[in-house]
Amino acid sequence: MKQNSSDGQLANPVENERSFLTFKEVLFKYITNLPLFFFSLGVAMLIAWSYLRWATSVYSVSSTMIIKQETSSNLKGDGKFNNIFEDFEKINIEDEKEFLKSKLFLINVVEALSLNNHYIEHGKVRSSEVYRALPAIVQPVSIFDSSISYSIDFQIVDEKGYLLGRENKIRPFSVPIQKAGAVFMIKPNLTDPNIKGRKITYRWHPSASVAGQISGNLNMNQTSRTSSVLNLSLQTFNIDKGVDILNKIMQEYENYNVKDKSRISNNSLDFINDRLIKLENELSKIEADLQNFIQTNQFLDFEKQSDLYLDKMSKYDEDMRKQEVQLKILLLLEEYIKEKGNAFSLTPTNLGIEDPTLNYLITSYNQLILKREREIQFNQVRNPIIKEIENSIEKIRLSILENLQNIKSSFVLNKNESERLRNTAKNEVFELPEKESKIREIRRQQAIKNELYTFLLQKREEVGIQLASTLSNSKVFAQAEGGGDPVLPKRGNTYMLALFFGVVIPVIIIFIRDMMNDKVTTKSDIIRNTNIPIIGELGHNDKNETLVVIKNSRSVLAEQFRIVRSGLHSFLKQDRTPVILITSSFSGEGKSFAATNLASSIALTGKKTVLLEFDLRKPKVLSGLGIQRTLGITHFVIGKVGFNELPIKVPETENFYVIGCGPTPPNPSELLLDPKIRELFEHLRDQFDVVIVDTAPVGLVSDSFTLAGYADATLLVVRQRYTYKKQIQLLDEIYQQKSFPATHMIVNDITVEGYNSYYGYGGYGYGYGYGYGYGYGYYDVDIREKTWYKQFLRLIGLK
């Protein structure tokens, strides 16, 4: 038994160790709900199967490409200059990935493959995208607004016509269709013999919208951080379409690289061709002047003695010629850079200027121009990033001009020095004819122009070779190909998810149901809330009769009452007549039913037994036995009748008597305190072997507490799925306070199958349902469920 705490309060039974569910109880709780699990799993699997049956499959298409890192050009200089492509900006793989996923780049792919056109064929079960094997082709004749989408629904009737939308009139093919300002034309695919009856939805989408969808489904990753190999994958509803898209992406990227790398060479080639035209004109003029001078002045050879002076002058002339060539090239380059139209144009450097600083500045200048052109593709011209690049370009341009001035100054000094030495030699040969000096000047100019012309011709050939040998930075490792199995939905994952939810949902339902259940359901609910010993457990009664324990009765319920009777054996063998009090916590728990059948089972043993209907407010004993009300306890208390007139023999039974309550008094509690009640019990002990008292519920009135003084044993009746757990705690408090003698408990209306099984597992099938009241009302009601849907809910554990 529980002990009182130090402050005089009773200990809460929930606090003891029995308040915890055992593993066996938890296991049995879920085992008894197997129908609910089977039902949930069946529904989940059906949903999974339906989803897999009607869901549109998503496939993955993949390919592999490499983005090569190049650091130098394939062409080398001839010793007079460094190649302008000597240094390249290293390729950033992450930047290239973003470029490949950009709408600006993918729009080229969309337009190249005509991906604006989207066809969906509607079948009997589901709809699917059609890509290559088209039953009909819709041609956009004119698009009114390229920023919106257009949709056309049609059904092909035969090779000559079709039904548009919900129209009933057949339209001929190749006739323009007006749609929101746009014009389309439908043409049949006559090579397909199975076009009749096919329903098609055609959609035209803007290029930017389609490019955005491709970008969202396109994935790229490197095999490792240091690798240049790029794996591309695309999720698509149509494998053929995905293969074409990936292949076109790689092709367009390769073309873009070749075009981008060729721009500098093309610019240099244009520059050289322009200068060659000018030099051809200048050489023609010099040659004409030379011939005209010879013819006019009748030029002759000189004496050999002047050869020594002439050799000196030739040497100085050679030096001056070289300086003049360099200065001409610098002037041409300076003129090109100063032109406003070339502010953001690439500058050639294959011009033979042997100055490392100048070559480095021009290379940096060209790289910034290329970087600006790339940024303009993604940003506005006024973007701060572009402005910053333009400022850097201007600074380098000024640095180039300043460097050119320095180089020119150096060449001028060298030229002046050579000229001074030449003039000295000239003064030494002053006796040479003036004609010789003039002819040499003309030929020197001719040699300068010829050398410059030859140099530019050589550079043109080199640039042409370089342009012809330009290769893309990318290389396709593997063409796009699609897998046979769809990536979505995954059959195994779908069924595993269905299996998971098919198990979890019943667990959640059971958990929530248990959390919300505040009534006695299982035996553990009683054990955890009270220490009152259970003397017997009664099943459900399928019959309408109250009296189920009769002679030769072999029903399960009758045997259960006999078990209760055996538990009372120690009291029934006492020397004096035992008085057994039967009550409950509140109305409707079946105490009158239990009292009637317990009395009948004792009477069958040969003991003269009497049942007292002491529930003065709501008597049920006589009506349950089908006996009309006559004289009763209230008549005896007020002195209208004697004791011998009270007992009524129950028909068709032996040794079983009943005493009714009589008319309901206005003051039942005070009536029980009358001395006649003690006299009544004295007569009962003298004339009967066993006295059973059916009294009012202890949770509603105090009648039972008054009658407890006459009792030798007390039976408290609780009802499964009816009695509240808090009522069990109330009974336990009464038990701890010892308000009743030899208190035991009877559990009534037990069900051993389904989620609300009293034992927590399936067993033999029995039960009963004696129609007692529901709630706290003091009246009768039948709680048996007869409708088919309630029986089904009970079967799967939801009720």
Q: pLDDT-derived band of residue 352, with 50, 70 and 90 as boundaries?
A: low
Q: pLDDT-derived band of residue 297, with 50, 70 and 90 as boundaries?
A: low
pLDDT at 691 over 50: yes
Q: What is the DSSP letter of 268?
A: H
Distance between CA atoms of residues 195 and 209, nearest Å: 30
Cβ neighbours of residue 33 closer than 8 Å, sequence gap 6 or more: 506, 510, 755, 797
Percent of the chain scoring above 90 in pLDDT: 11
Whether residue 58 contacts residue 236, with contact meaning beta carbons closer than 8 Å, is answered with yes
Q: Which residue has the tokens 């699917």?
A: 128
CA nearest neighbour of 563 among 523, 590, 607, 597: 597
Helix and strand numbers, DSSP H then E, in the chain: 22, 21
Residue 490 in any domain: the answer is no
Predicted pLDDT at 16 = 42
pLDDT at 6 over 80: no
Task: Read off the pLDDT of residues 47-69 as tens digits, 9 standing for 90 and up.
Answer: 988 888 777 778 888 888 877 66
- Residue scoring higher pLDDT (456 or 684): 684
Residue 334 in any domain: the answer is yes
Q: pLDDT-derived band of residue 78, with 50, 70 and 90 as boundaries?
A: very low
Highest mean pLDDT among 221-230, 522-531, 596-605: 596-605
Distance between CA atoms of residues 657 and 600, nearest Å: 9
Stretch 339-349: mean pLDDT: 73
Domain count for the chain: 3
Return the structure tokens found at 208: 């930017």
Q: What is the DSSP code string of 695-756?
A: E--TTT-SHHHHHGGG-SEEEEEEETTTSBHHHHHHHHHHHHTT-SSSEEEEEEEE--SSTT
Return the structure tokens found at 685: 């002990």
Q: What is the DSSP letter of 115?
A: T
Residue 50 in any domain: the answer is no
Half-sphere exposure of 656 (CA within 13 A, CB side): 23
> Does 140 lie in the same domain as 217?
yes
Q: pLDDT-derived band of residue 294, with 50, 70 and 90 as boundaries?
A: low
Task: Read off the pLDDT of residues 354-393 as tens digits, 9 standing for 90 and up.
Answer: 777 877 788 887 888 887 777 787 777 778 888 888 788 8
Whether residue 448 contacts residue 283, with contact meaning beta carbons closer than 8 Å, is answered with no
The CATH number of residue 780's host domain is: 3.40.50.300
Instruction: Find the DSSP H helices in 142-218.
Output: 207-217
CA nearest neighbour of 149 among 207, 101, 66: 207
Distance between CA atoms of residues 680 and 199, nearest Å: 94
Stretch 148-166: mean pLDDT: 89
Residue 192 in any domain: the answer is yes
pLDDT at 798 over 50: no
Stretch 222-247: mean pLDDT: 82
Predicted pLDDT at 545 = 83
Predicted pLDDT at 75 = 43
Q: Among 415-424, 557-566, 667-676, 781-790, whose mean pLDDT is lowest?
A: 781-790
Instruction: Give the count of beta carbons closer than 10 Å to the beta carbon of residue 124.
Output: 4
Distance between CA atoms of residues 173 and 167, nearest Å: 15
Return the structure tokens found at 100: 């490949």
Domain boundary among 237, 258, 279: 258
> Does 227 lie in the same domain as 370?
no
Is 0.75 surpassed by the pTM of this model? no
Stretch 294-306: mean pLDDT: 55
> Does 365 lie in the same domain as 240?
no
> Does 285 lie in the same domain as 242?
no
Whether residue 653 contacts residue 605, with contact meaning beta carbons closer than 8 Å, is answered with no
Predicted pLDDT at 25 = 66
The residues facing 66 across adjacent strands are 229, 475
For residue 480, the surrounding DSSP H or E stretch is strand 474-482
CA 642 to chain CA mean position, Å: 85
Distance between CA atoms of residues 652 and 691, nearest Å: 20
Residue 230 in any domain: the answer is yes
CA nearest neighbour of 593 among 722, 736, 711, 683: 722
pLDDT at 10 over 60: no
Domain boundary among 229, 258, 287: 258
Mapping DSSP to helix (H, G, I), strand (E, B) and coil, where does residue 188 land?
strand
> Does 545 lie in the same domain as 434?
no
> Does 274 lie in the same domain as 224?
no
3-state SS of 509-530 is HHHHHHHHCCECCCHHHHHHHC
Residue 340 in any domain: the answer is yes
Return the structure tokens found at 48: 């999974």
Instruction: Find the DSSP H helices in 6-141.
Output: 23-31, 34-54, 93-100, 103-113
Task: Read off the pLDDT of residues 547-592 as tens digits, 9 standing for 90 and up.
Answer: 888 888 888 888 888 999 888 887 777 778 899 999 988 888 888 9
> Does 283 lie in the same domain as 159?
no
Distance between CA atoms of residues 722 and 776, nearest Å: 11
pLDDT at 709 over 70: yes
Q: Give residue 735's domain range.
A: 523-795
Q: Among 63-67, 250-254, 484-488, 770-774, whose mean pLDDT is lowest?
A: 770-774
Q: pLDDT-derived band of residue 715, with 50, 70 and 90 as boundaries?
A: very high
Long-range residue pairs from 108-113, CB within 8 A, at least 24 positions apart, any chain: 108/252, 109/211, 109/214, 109/245, 109/248, 109/249, 109/252, 110/207, 110/210, 110/211, 110/214, 111/207, 112/248, 112/252, 113/244, 113/245, 113/248
pLDDT at 81 over 70: no
Predicted pLDDT at 471 = 55
Return the structure tokens found at 316: 């100085």
Produce one character per residue of 744-773: b if its CB has 16 or more CB atoms within 10 Å, e if not: bbbbbbbbbbbbbbbbbbeeeebbbbbbbb
Task: Read off the pLDDT of residues 96-105 as tens digits, 9 standing for 90 and up.
Answer: 888 888 888 8
Task: Read off the pLDDT of residues 647-667 as tens digits, 9 standing for 90 and up.
Answer: 999 988 899 999 998 888 888
Return the structure tokens found at 76: 């080398």
> Does 600 lie in the same domain as 690?
yes
CA 49 to chain CA mean position, Å: 20
Q: pLDDT-derived band of residue 782, with 50, 70 and 90 as boundaries?
A: very low
Residue 23 in any domain: the answer is no
Q: pLDDT-derived band of residue 281, with 50, 70 and 90 as boundaries?
A: confident
Q: At what angle do helices 239-297 and 356-378 cross, to 10 degrees?
A: 140
> Does 216 lie in the same domain as 307?
no
> Does 306 lie in the same domain as 229?
no
Give me the chain's average pLDDT, please. Answer: 77
User: In angstroms, what is the C-alpha Rg of the chain?
Assistant: 56
Residue 132 in any domain: the answer is yes
Return the structure tokens found at 557: 């319920």
Whether residue 738 contacts residue 730, with contact meaning beta carbons closer than 8 Å, is answered with no
Stretch 445-456: mean pLDDT: 80
Residue type, 689: D
For residue 239, the surrounding DSSP H or E stretch is helix 239-297
Domain boundary among 258, 281, 313: 258
Stretch 176-181: mean pLDDT: 86
pLDDT at 765 over 70: no
Percent of the chain scoring above 70 in pLDDT: 80
pLDDT at 14 over 50: no
> Does 284 lie in the same domain as 249?
no
Does a cis peptide bond (omega within 30 degrees of 0) precede residue 741? no
pLDDT at 687 over 80: yes
Q: pLDDT-derived band of residue 609, with 50, 70 and 90 as boundaries?
A: very high
> Does 322 lie in the same domain as 205?
no
- Residue scoring higher pLDDT (370 or 465): 370
